[in-house]
Amino acid sequence: MMMNKEINNNDNEMGAIGIGAMIVFIALILVAAVASAVIIQTGEKLQQNAQQAGSDTQAEISGKIQINNAFIYDQGNSYLLYFESAPGSGVLDEATISYSVTCSDTGDAYQYTAGTFTATKVADNLAGADIGVADIQPGVVYAIILDVHDASATATGDCSATSVGLLGEVTLWIHVPNGGSTYETLLITELNEGALVV
CATH number of the structural domain spanning residue 172 = 2.60.40
- 98 and 164 housed in the same domain: yes
Q: What are 93-140's pLDDT values in tens digits?
A: 888 899 999 999 888 888 888 888 888 887 776 665 555 545 788 888
Q: What are 16-53's pLDDT values in tens digits?
A: 677 788 888 888 899 999 999 899 999 888 888 888 87
Does 195 reside within a domain? no
pLDDT at position 60 is 60
State which residues form the domain around 87: 65-187
pLDDT at position 10 is 62
Number of domains the chain contains:
2
- 69 and 105 housed in the same domain: yes
For residue 186, count CB atoms less than 10 angstroms from its CB and return exposed for 0-12, middle for 13-18, buried for 19 or more: buried
Contacting residues for 82 by C-beta, under 8 A, at least 6 apart: 67, 68, 69, 70, 123, 141, 142, 143
Cβ atoms of 66 and 182 closer than 8 Å: yes
As a whole number, the mean pLDDT across the chain is 81
Q: Of 179, 132, 188, which Cα lies nearest the Cα of 159?
A: 188
C-alpha separations of 181 from 5, 41, 45, 156, 172 in Å: 88, 35, 29, 23, 10
Cβ atoms of 104 and 111 closer than 8 Å: yes
Cβ atoms of 111 and 100 closer than 8 Å: no
Domain boundary at 61, 87, 104, which?
61
